[in-house]
Amino acid sequence: MAESMKIETIPMKNRQVEDVIPILKPLVVEGGTVTGINNKLIVKTTPSNLKQIKQVLAQIDNAPRRLMISVKQDVDGNLNVEESGVSGRYSTGDVTIESPDTGRGGTIIQGKDSDGNVVRYRQLETRSRLEDRNVFRVQALEGNPAYISTGQSVPIPNQTTFVTGGAVVVQDGVEYRDVESGFYVLPRLQGDNVTLLISPKLSRVSPNQAAIFDIQNVETTASGRLGEWIPIGGATQHYNDSSKRNLISTKRRGQEQRNVLVKVEEIK
């Protein structure tokens, strides 16, 4: 004789209903249901199946484990900048042609005649190495999301032009933009195995370009074992561009490699 269905409400002690329901649903017999409200399970099933569900629930409705989550964002790169330009002054009769020297540093080759005419050639090459080892740590409870971030405010010069009293006034100012790096992470454990929903963000100011910001976002699900670094993503960027202004030419070449890793440890 088939068992009749019954409905029972089971209050949760430690876990959240939304975390438990996906585990219990596959265990419910055909025609039964498991839902939740106000952190209470509402189970409709047969008495024998309800007994099985309660046995499983007794094992999983325990206090969530305390975790230390570390996210490491490694950045390695190099950048070469070459700048060359011609400047000087030439005057003949009533005509004077002048190109100011706006460069700084480097090698200067200069020629000058008795009339005060001068020609300069400036060449500058800079090499920079980028290494950034950010490690973020935050405590979290198993099954609960956590967020951590660090950053700084970067000044960005600007100009405002307005007309007053028949005159044009140019006013210099500074605004600050936040450059923030951090991550969201949601950990779930099964024994010593961990599954993570991760959304880290890395922001920084580009080398030699104070008003340009690089932003990296990764959203992924990763799994591994407690205590080990788990790679979750990365990116490689190459620089190869040039620009000209007046008689000055600038070339930028380089590359940048970014990697994001995560580690979860249990706090005893």
Task: Summarize the confidence of residues 8-27 as an average pLDDT.
Answer: 89
Choose from 79-93, 98-112, 150-164, 177-191 the range with maximum mean pLDDT: 79-93
Beta bridge partner(s), residue 154 = 177
Q: In Å, how far from its chain's centre is CA 254?
A: 21
Q: What is the pLDDT of residue 80?
A: 85
Cβ atoms of 263 and 230 within 8 Å: the answer is yes
Q: In Å, how far from its chain's centre is CA 64?
A: 28
Of 162, 184, 158, nearest in space to 172 by CA: 158
> How far apart, in whole angstroms, are the C-alpha atoms of residue 173 and residue 96?
35
Indicate the range of 109-123, 137-151, 205-219, 243-257 predicted with least confidence.
Answer: 205-219
Residue 265: which residues within 8 A CB-CB, separation 6 or more?
A: 67, 68, 70, 226, 227
Q: Give the CA count within 13 Å in the CB-facing half-sphere of 232.
A: 28
The predicted-structure confidence for 128-148, as pLDDT tens digits, reads as follows: 887 777 787 888 888 778 776
> How far apart, in whole angstroms, are the C-alpha atoms of residue 31 and residue 8?
15
- Whether the predicted pLDDT of 31 surpasses 80: yes
Q: What is the pLDDT of residue 114?
A: 73
Q: How many residues does the chain have?
A: 268
What is the per-residue DSSP string for 31-57? T-EEEEETTEEEEEE-HHHHHHHHHHH
Cβ atoms of 257 and 215 within 8 Å: the answer is no
H/E element holding 206? Answer: none
Of 108, 83, 23, 84, nearest in space to 58 by CA: 23
pLDDT band per the 50, 70, 90 thresholds, residue 113: confident
> How far apart, in whole angstroms, are the C-alpha atoms of residue 102 and residue 120?
11
Q: What is the pLDDT of residue 155?
A: 64
